[in-house]
């Protein structure tokens, strides 16, 4: 039985990879920078993302889609940033797949969009293998989870481009040692970009927004360059 399960799993992943690749091409042509935000449940993705949307939304067309098993709270919360947000309900599915994102962004004029944030389902394992066509995978690692999480759950962090240590306002109460956490993160994913953020106080959100702003600009320059070469 095991070989057959593996075969089916491989097929699901392959199908997802093919669609994600096609979406990445569409995003590149349209000049949309895409961020896949992953973490455990309750790590503060929605709250931090609302701040990032409001910040980038000042001079970019930024939008978001958000995946949850149930409830539509999070799209409403994200929309408080002033940016458009759509909910994806996954039912019992523990991660987002490329076809769910493709369906959720239907009808949006990608040429008019600069940044698309995808807030994944809260899960520190399963989103790992599912490419969503993103340019950047951002992992939130809240101080309330303890310093050891990058070592205990290496699978997802190993695929991330940036890590935001979140809820730093609770670091003292949670007796969280930021230096140990940074060292464990670096050990699990050498060279990964790291930020220390609190969505509650706003601390560090501007540094993360600045980093994203630079990445968005770099993609736009690359897209224009390619367009001129083609033209």
Summarize as ranges the residues that interact with a copy of itself (CB under 8 A). 1, 4-5, 8, 11-12, 15, 40-42, 68-71, 73-74, 92, 94, 121-126, 128, 142, 144-146, 148-149, 151-155, 167, 169-170, 173-174
Q: What's the CA gap between 156 and 147, in Å, rounded?
A: 16
The residue among 153 and 195 lying less far from a copy of itself, judged by its C-beta, is 153
Residue 211 CB, shortest distance to a copy of itself, in Å, is 25
Compare residues 123 and 213 and give the one whose CB is closer to a copy of itself: 123
Minimum separation from the CB atom of position 4 to a copy of itself (A): 7
Tokens coding 19: 């669609």
| Cβ at position 81, least distance to a copy of itself in Å | 18
Pick 167 or 215: Cβ nearer a copy of itself: 167
Nearer to a copy of itself, 27 or 87 (CB): 87
* Residue 10 CB, nearest approach to a copy of itself (Å): 12
In three-state form (DSSP H/G/I as H, E/B as E, the rest C), the secondary structure along the chain is CHHHHHHHHHHHHHHHHHHHHHHHHHHHHHCCEEEEEECCCCCCHHHHHHHHHHHHCCCCCEEEEEEECCCCHHHHHHHCCCCEEEEEECCCCCCCCHHHHHHHCCCCCHHHCCEEEEECCCCCCHHHHCCCCCCEEEEEEEHHHCCCHHHHCHHHHCCCCEEEEECHHHCCCCCCCHHHHHHHHHHHCCCCEEEECCCCCCCCHHHHHHHHHHHHHHHHHHHHHHHHHHC
Whichever of 81 and 123 has its CB closer to a copy of itself, that residue is 123
Spatial separation of the C-alpha atoms in residues 185 and 194, rounded to whole Å: 9
CB 64 to a copy of itself: min, Å: 17
Pick between residue 119 and residue 134 the one whose CB is nearest to a copy of itself.
119
In the complex, what is the shortest distance from the CB of residue 156 to a copy of itself, in angstroms, rounded to a whole number?
9
């Amino acid at each position: 039985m095991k070989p057959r399960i593996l075969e089916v799993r491989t097929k699901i992943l392959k199908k997802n990879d093919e669609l994600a690749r096609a979406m990445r091409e569409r995003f590149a042509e349209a000049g949309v920078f895409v961020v896949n935000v992953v973490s455990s449940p309750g790590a503060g993705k929605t709250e931090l993302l609302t701040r990032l949307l409001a910040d980038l939304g000042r001079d970019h067309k930024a939008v978001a889609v958000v995946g949850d098993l149930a409830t539509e709270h999070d799209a409403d919360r994200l929309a408080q940033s002033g940016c458009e947000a759509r909910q994806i309900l996954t039912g019992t599915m523990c991660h987002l797949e490329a076809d769910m994102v493709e369906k959720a962004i239907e009808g949006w004029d990608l040429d008019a969009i600069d940044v698309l944030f995808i807030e994944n389902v809260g899960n520190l394992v399963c989103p790992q293998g599912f490419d969503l066509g993103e340019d950047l995978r951002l992992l939130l690692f809240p101080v309330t989870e303890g310093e050891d999480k990058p070592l205990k759950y290496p699978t997802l962090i190993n695929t991330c481009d940036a890590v935001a240590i979140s809820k730093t306002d609770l670091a003292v109460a949670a007796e969280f040692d930021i230096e140990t956490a940074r060292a464990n993160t670096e050990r699990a994913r050498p060279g990964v970009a790291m930020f220390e953020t609190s969505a509650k106080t706003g601390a560090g959100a501007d540094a993360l927004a600045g980093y994203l702003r630079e990445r968005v600009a770099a993609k736009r320059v690359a897209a224009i360059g390619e367009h001129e070469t083609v033209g």
